Amino acid sequence: MEKIKKFRFSLNGIVLTAAFLGIVLIGTVVNENFLTMKNILSIFQQMSEMGIMALGLTIVIITGGNDLASGTTMGLCAVVSGLCLTSGMPIPLALLISLAAAVACGCLNASLVALIGIPPMIATLGTQMFFYGAALVLSKGNSISNIPREFYFLGQDKLAGLPLQAVILILLTIVLAVILKKKVFGKHLFAIGNNIKASAYSGIRTVKVLFLAYITCSVLCCIAGNIQVSRVATARADMGYSFLMPCISAVVLGGTSIDGGSGGVGGTVVGVLIFAMISNIMNLAGISSFWQQLATGSILVLVVVFNKITENSKLHLKKMAGKKAASE
């Protein structure tokens, strides 16, 4: 088993490193401003919201599930926050109400998946449209502007020369990495992803763990939504809607199995960084958003194919290990 894990880690590490270096090289050739400090900080600033959402998706995908509603959860929380802020509500209270909405979204997703037993893809596809509709109703289909300037700090300030949202992304990544590696909750996430029935028989409270996983994902989407509201000084129902596919691609590219049971947040952040650099290079080169969508879709297909190949390789190694053990 240890050999299988090392194989997967090394293969993922090679692919991620090669992709990262290749994109840096292409960016340097395409535009001389690519490696300037101003552009690098811009990439960090723009990737942070998608990165924070991708962290939440990583937690859910490790369990063998998915959250297709993560993008619309972000939009709904952004609208709730925007409405509270423009009504004159204090910033801490507005953020708490937005977080409460996120927890409600996570509980609904988890109830459908863990209690009723609906497949995650179907359950969250339904809640995706429900949350988007709720955001449209609350905002009446309009953008919410006139966000108080005091709220701009979250998406526009810097800390030690880095955009504040990038610092938040780094801190969240460290915290989640420790939880996945060292804490019982992290071990239970992986166990459920490998075999949820066996996990239940072994005494793991699978329903509780799944609830915490989906709530964590929704809360992280809420944080990302509030950062974007602060950065662009506007709240809209469609905030985060376009993040879903790149986030899932980044999670899988970063080494998290789409079938669950393996992965980590470090690789996810690198995957998000790769997608952010690709988008940045295309913008610097003046390539239209239509081609950017095509590139993102192509990468998603390649990532899924790569993930399937590594899963098949892992299964082959497991069979070989089993045969060797039986012969001994």
| pLDDT, tens only, 167-187 | 999 999 999 999 999 999 999
pLDDT attached to residue 192? 96
Residue 1 has pLDDT above 60, yes or no: no
Please give the structure tokens belonging to residue 228: 């974007």
Look up residue 296 and give its amino acid: T
Position 297 confidence tier, pLDDT thresholds 50, 70, 90: confident
- How far is residue 182 from each of residues 178, 185, 188, 203, 231, measured CA to CA in Å? 6, 9, 11, 19, 34
* Percent with pLDDT over 90 in the chain: 62
Residue 114 has pLDDT above 50, yes or no: yes
Position 71 confidence tier, pLDDT thresholds 50, 70, 90: very high
Position 215 confidence tier, pLDDT thresholds 50, 70, 90: very high
What is the mean predicted confidence (pLDDT) over 88-113?
96
What rounded mean pLDDT belongs to the chain?
89
List 158's β-bridge partners, or say none.
163
Least confident of 41-55, 231-245, 286-300: 286-300
CA separation for the pair 30, 285 (Å, rounded):
7
Q: Is 324 strand, coil or helix?
A: helix
Please give the structure tokens belonging to residue 108: 């609904």
Please give the structure tokens belonging to residue 229: 């509201």
More confident residue, 31 or 300: 31
Please give the structure tokens belonging to residue 308: 């399937």
Look up residue 11 and give its amino acid: L
Q: Answer yes or no: are the C-beta atoms of 260 and 195 closer than 8 Å.
A: no
Position 6 confidence tier, pLDDT thresholds 50, 70, 90: very low
